[in-house]
Structure 1
Amino acid sequence: MNLIFEEDDESIVMKNEAGEKLGEIAFSGDGDYFTVFHTGVNPDYRGQHLGDKLVLQTIEKAKREQRKIIPTCPFARKYFLEHPEYQEFVQGDLN
């Protein structure tokens, strides 16, 4: 499945080739960081690691914009706890 990511200042939406929304990650903030407060995946597509792909797209956004991420969303927070290799993109301590 080819994934399409549409990004703006408040979210990244993931769609399939048919334009069906598969999931989204939402954030807010400006300056040196942004806060991720929601990650959601269409129930029909869960179990395919699409939430992970959304977090990775957010990390790419942080890299491009030279910003840090505050993961208040439980899914994003768990992702960063399980993937310490991305800790450099997290603002503050996860513990």
Structure 2
Amino acid sequence: MEIKQGSQSFYIGNEEESEAEVHFVRVGESRIILDHTHVSEHLRGQNVGQQLVKAAVDYAKKENLQVIPLCPFAKAEFEKHPEYQELLG
């Protein structure tokens, strides 16, 4: 399963009608807000959501961005992973 990067998301499938995605919005030069995560029924239970949030976290680290996880799923992932805490903005 390939995770692709769009202009404001990481997704599986195609960008317009993704099978799974974590969507983000840039806020200024130094932050992104994770505002929505979606995983299609047939992909659930395969850690797809976790992989998408990790892709966003890896992107934020690479780009030196802080992350504001507003999406309940992303917020829960940040609470589960202490290593993500350094990115909270």
What is the TM-score of this pair, normalised by structure 2?
A: 0.87
Do structure 1's residue 28 and structure 2's residue 16 form an aligned pair? no
Question: In the alignment, residue 67 of structure 1 is paired with which amino acid?
Answer: L
Highest CA radius of gyration, 1 or 2? 1
* 1:66 counterpart (64, 67, 88): 64
User: 1-side partners of 2:18 and 2:72: how far apart?
Assistant: 21
Superposition misfits of 4+ residues, deviation over 2 angstroms: none
Query: Structure 1 unaligned runs (5+)?
Result: none
How far the C-alpha of 1:8 sits from its partner, in A, is 2.4
Corresponding residue of 1:4: 2
What is the TM-score of this pair, normalised by structure 1?
A: 0.82
Do structure 1's residue 88 and structure 2's residue 64 form an aligned pair? no
What is the percentage of aligned positions where both structures have the same residue? 34
* 2:76 counterpart (62, 75, 78): 78
Of the two structures, which has the highest relative contact order with CA contacts closer than 8 Å and spacing of 6 or more? Answer: 2
Corresponding residue of 1:14: 12
Query: How many matched pairs?
Result: 85
Matched residue SS, 2:3: strand
Query: Structure 2 unaligned runs (5+)?
Result: none
Corresponding residue of 1:51: 49
Question: In the alignment, residue 26 of structure 1 is paired with which amino acid?
Answer: H
Q: CA RMSD in A?
A: 1.5
